[in-house]
Chains A and B, each alone.
Chain A
Amino acid sequence: EAGVAQSPRYKIIEKRQSVAFWCNPISGHATLYWYQQILGQGPKLLIQFQNNGVVDDSQLPKDRFSAERLKGVDSTLKIQPAKLEDSAVYLCASSPGLPQTQYFGPGTRLLVL
């Protein structure tokens, strides 16, 4: 069974630029999560989708971050414009339902200069 796929693996941008991350969850997993992991900390939830609907986006900085889940499968997370403090690893996870074990992708490491 293929795991959670993410791309790109690494991205370096300058502040005020925009960036997008892509996630493909495990086939059949209804729930998809985006987490932000700042160096030295545990991951923090940004947004949770159930199929193609948003369940929780209370910690998403909506003035600069946006996310969508097309047709309840793939998802993209966008940052526009990026700030220095957005430098982090962005993790995508999926699970078959609630509450279930979450399976993580390899993450996208973002560096904002």
Chain B
Amino acid sequence: AQTVTQSQPEMSVQEAETVTLSCTYDTSENNYYLFWYKQPPSRQMILVIRQEAYKQQNATENRFSVNFQKAAKSFSLKISDSQLGDTAMYFCAFTNYGGSQGNLIFGKGTKLSVKP
């Protein structure tokens, strides 16, 4: 079975500092996508960043970057220059590439608090 594990239930960081959220996953597939989604309190889930497994280069989106280690099945998210608006639940998610099913398998999430 495919699983996603986020080992840090809660984290906090000071504004303007850098924080890294961890994620590991388990799959026997070779082609897949990995995502980080952000869910602010009482607000909807939005995509932060996406990584295709066949790409060796780590994805970056402004202050957000990932460290994708395919052999170790690790996919961490680094947030640089943290802002108060980054306070949210962060979910790591996985989906297979190909086939007819594209559902996301989510981890349990990491609650990030950015402190002023």
A binds B: yes
Q: Is the CB of B107 within 8 A of A99?
A: no
At the interface, yes or no: B30 with Cβ under 8 Å from chain A?
no
Residues of B in contact (CB 8 Å), total 26
B 21-54 to A, binary, CB cutoff 8 A, 1 in contact else 0: 0000000000001010100000111110010000
A30-48 at interface with B (beta carbon < 8 Å):
31, 33, 35, 40-45, 48
Q: Total number of A-B contacts with CB less than 8 angstroms?
A: 60
A41 near B108 (CB under 8 angstroms)? Answer: yes
| B46 engages A104 (CB within 8 Å) | yes
A95 surroundings in chain B (CB, below 8 A): 102
Q: Pick the contact of A44 from B97, B98, B100, B106 — CB < 8 Å?
A: B106
Contact (Cβ within 8 A) B98 A50:
no
Which of A42, A99, A101, A103 contacts B98 (CB under 8 A)? A99
B113 within 8 A of partner (CB): no
Which residue of chain B lies nearest to A100 when distances are taken between CB atoms in the complex? Answer: B102
